[in-house]
Amino acid sequence: MSERKKGWKEIPVGGVCWKPATEYSTGDWRTFKPVHDSEKCTKCLLCPIICPDASINWNTATQDIEFNYNFCKGCGICANECPANAIEMVREGEA
């Protein structure tokens, strides 16, 4: 977040977005981050469906789920709903 912010003379009028949402990392709003235990995980793939920010993906190479921490806001729904209790919410900076 150290990028220089633009001034009123530089930004488009009417609040038009000048960069795509993919460049605006909402992940830094997060206080707790989800960490998953691959051993406990049954690969049921419920979490990619219920994530409200589409921040859990299936990685075909590792054959496992992975979190996109650039956009995960740490809401904790995945940890709450995981039927195998394989996701834990850990305070940022502590893991």
Partner 1 sequence: MTTVQQQETLALNGDEAVALAAKQSDVDVVAAYPITPQTIIVERFSEYVADGEVETEFVCTESEHSALTACLAASATGVRTFTATASAGLALMHEILYVTSGCRAPVVMAITNRALSAPINIHCDHSDSMAERDSSWIQLYVENSQEAYDTIIQAFRIAEHTKVLLPIMVCLDAFFLSHTLENVKTLPDKKVKDFVGTRQIPLVMGHEGKKVPFKLDPKNPITIGPLALQDYYFEHKRQQEEAMRNASGIISEINDLYSQLSGRKYGNGLTDPYFLEDADIATICVGSTAGTTKYVVDNLRSRGIKAGLLRLRTLRPLPTSDIVSALASTKAVAVMDRSHSFGGYGGPLFHEIRHVLYDTQPHPHVVNYIYGLGGRDMPQNDIQDIYIDLQKIQQNNAVENYVNFVRVRE
- Binding interface with partner 1 (CB under 8 A): 5-8, 11-21
Compute the distance between CA of residue 10 and CA of residue 6 in angstroms, rounded to an integer.
6
Is residue 39 exposed (0-12), middle (13-18) or buried (19+ Cβ within 10 Å)? Answer: exposed
Q: Closest separation between CB of residue 45 and partner 1, Å?
A: 31
| SS3 category, 43 | coil
The two three-digit tokens of residue 17, written as one number: 């977005």
The residue (of 18 and 58) whose beta carbon lies closer to partner 1 is: 18
Q: How far is the CB of 92 from partner 1 (least distance, A)?
A: 21
Q: Compute the least distance from the CB of residue 32 to partner 1, in Å.
A: 22
Closer by beta carbon to partner 1, 30 or else 41: 30
Q: Give the span between the Cα atoms of 21 and 71, in whole angstroms.
A: 10
| Minimum CB–partner distance for residue 8 and partner 1 (Å) | 4
Comparing CB distances to partner 1, the nearer of 17 and 61 is 17
